[in-house]
Amino acid sequence: MAKLMKRKTKTLIVIFIISVILSLKFPSEIEEEERAKREKLEKEEKTFSVFLQRESATSTRERVVSLADELHGLEYDFYRQNCPQAESIVRSTMARIYMQQNDISFGLLRLLFHDCFIKGCDASVFLDDSNGNKNRSIERQAAPNKTLRGINEIDMIKEELDNACPGVVSCADSLALATRDAVVLAGGPFYPVFTGRRDSTQSYFDEAMDEIPKPNDNITRTLFLFSRRGFDEKETVNLLGAHNVGKISCDFIRNRLTNFSGTGQPDASVDHDFLNELRLACQGSNSTNHDGTVASMTSREMRNSSSAMIFQGLSASIPSGARFDNHYYQNLLGGRGLLFADQQLMADENTARFVAVYASDDGTTFRRDFSRSMVKMSNLGVLTGTLGQVRNKCSFPTSQS
Integer angstrom CA distances of residue 148 from 112, 122, 191, 208, 245? 10, 16, 23, 13, 15
Name, in order, each residue with C-beta under 8 angstroms of 154's C-beta and a sequence gap of 6 or more: 108, 111, 126, 171, 174, 175, 178, 394
Question: Is 361 flagged in the annotation as binding?
Answer: no
**Torsion of Cα atoms, 75 then 81 then 83 then 89, to 10°:** 70
- Asked if residue 388 lies in contact with residue 201, where contact means CB atoms within 8 angstroms, the answer is yes
Integer angstrom CA distances of residue 370 from 54, 56, 331? 19, 16, 18
Question: Is 271 flagged in the annotation as binding?
Answer: no
Question: Is 378 flagged in the annotation as binding?
Answer: no
Which residue, 319, 253, 326, is CA-closest to 283?
253
Question: Is 72 flagged in the annotation as binding?
Answer: no
Question: Is 45 flagged in the annotation as binding?
Answer: no
Name, in order, each residue with C-beta under 8 angstroms of 247's C-beta and a sequence gap of 6 or more: 103, 106, 292, 293, 294, 295, 296, 317, 318, 319, 320
- Asked if residue 262 lies in contact with residue 289, where contact means CB atoms within 8 angstroms, the answer is no
269-286 b/e with 16+ CB inside 10 Å = b?
ebbeebbebbeebbeebe
User: Beta partners for 319?
Assistant: 247
| Residues with catalytic roles | 114
Question: Is 115 flagged in the annotation as binding?
Answer: yes
H or E, element range at 10:
helix 2-23
| Binding-site entries for heme b | 243
| Binding-site entries for substrate | 213
| Binding-site entries | 115, 120, 122, 124, 139, 213, 243, 325
